[in-house]
Amino acid sequence: MIYLDSAATTLLKPATVEHAVIRAMRMYASPGRGGHMPSLGAASVVYDCREAAAKLFHVESPENIVFTFNATHALNIAINSLVHHGARVLVSGFEHNSVTRPLNALNADIVRCGTFLYDTKRTLDDFKANIRDADLVVCTHVSNVFGYILPVYEIGQMCRENNVPFIVDASQSAGILELDVGKLGADFVCMPGHKGLMGPQGTGILICSSKARPLLYGGTGSDSISQQMPEYLPERLEAGTHNVCGIAGLKAGIEYVAQNGCDSIFRHEMKLMNIMIQRLMYEKVKLFYSEHKNQCPVLSCVFDGIDCEEMAYRLGQMDICVRSGLHCAPYAHESAGTLNTGTVRMSFSPFLTEDQVLSAADNIKQIINNA
């Protein structure tokens, strides 16, 4: 199998992740629910994962690392904490439905800024023109469809200057790009554990720099007489038993990223993406990529005369895994002019080899030539 869908979930993980999950399943119980070793062991691995994440993302206190079930869960907490009915919310033209659906559910007045693919300057100008009347800015760090790196540090600075809260969706950047939450200055940063951080599915992280409203209410193993959720983090946002096995795996994944370095992972994946581009650039296909420094290793394509679903199906028959369609990001496709066609998306991984990418490219060319 050649797996080119790491932007959805990294299927290929470090062996340490699998070992950590199995160990947790065998040895750990519910953290914060007892004083016995299986409970304290679970608590220990959960805390160590908080520490590892805090270190990787330059967060001062591990208590500000909140575990969620995925990035969508984290984004829902963040958005529900900051958005009121009718709030004017600036978003980029490349947001995922995990941002726009919660905003629509809250009847927010959504203003799209920066609908220009790979045009950083126009994106910034657009945010600047609209920020004064904004109640909130939500921006993805990297487009999940086109790999476009948005200027979130500059947008964060703009938000601070105008006292506008800021939420960053780091779903595609966490584990791939260096992320300094202190410099970003965002109120909330949301990310999945199962993509670039190499953890299992069912894991996510919400980094909190502002007061959050719980989305789930229930037991936290502490202050049990009180009928209110605790005021302090992370317990305030972590009702119910944690996904301990997942978090144990996530810890191993984060350690892998920390040991290898985001920069090294990024360079490897970009090299693979560039090989794919070189192989396909003279074929009957439109490739979406930037030659500037605002490109992450996610490659979208539209093939002449072949529907994206058809291409993905045929590749699937060859045991080559890609993602086709709208990728839950209709705004991004509208911005890039691909809403009617969708795209075939290829994304890469530290465990993918050059030979595998060359083989996938040859198979794609074969499908194009036979069409």
Which chain residues interact with another protein by CB under 8 A?
A: 31-32, 34-35, 40, 43-44, 47, 50-51, 61-63, 220-226, 230, 232-235
Nearest approach in angstroms of CB 42 to another protein is 10
Residue 65 forms beta bridges with which residues?
A: 207
| 47 or 116: CB nearest another protein | 47
DSSP notation for 244-295: HHHHHHHHHHHHHHHHH-HHHHHHHHHHHHHHHHHHHTTSSEEEE--SSS-B
| 32 or 330: CB nearest another protein | 32
Nearest approach in angstroms of CB 40 to another protein is 6
Nearest approach in angstroms of CB 236 to another protein is 9
Is residue 139 within 8 A of residue 168, CB to CB? The reply is yes
End-to-end, the C-alpha distance of the chain in Å comes to: 23
Round to whole Å and give the CA distance between 321 and 327: 14
Nearest approach in angstroms of CB 218 to another protein is 14
309 DSSP assignment: H
Nearest approach in angstroms of CB 32 to another protein is 4
Task: Let me know the angle formed at the C-alpha of 359 by 356 and 360, rounded to the nearest 5 degrees.
Answer: 85
Closest CA to 33 of 235, 204, 184: 235
| 86 or 240: CB nearest another protein | 240
Is residue 76 within 8 A of residue 206, CB to CB? The reply is no
Nearest approach in angstroms of CB 243 to another protein is 16
Residue 303 forms beta bridges with which residues?
A: 285, 306
| 234 or 297: CB nearest another protein | 234
Q: Give burial (CB, 10 Å; 0-12/13-18/19+) of 360.
A: buried
| 203 or 295: CB nearest another protein | 203
| 62 or 185: CB nearest another protein | 62
| 47 or 69: CB nearest another protein | 47
C-alpha dist (Å) from residue 80 to 95, 101, 196, 208: 17, 12, 25, 13
Nearest approach in angstroms of CB 28 to another protein is 14
> The tokens 């370095």 sit on which residue?
261
Nearest approach in angstroms of CB 49 to another protein is 11
| 202 or 234: CB nearest another protein | 234
236 DSSP assignment: G
Backbone angles phi, psi at 78, to 5 degrees: -60, -50
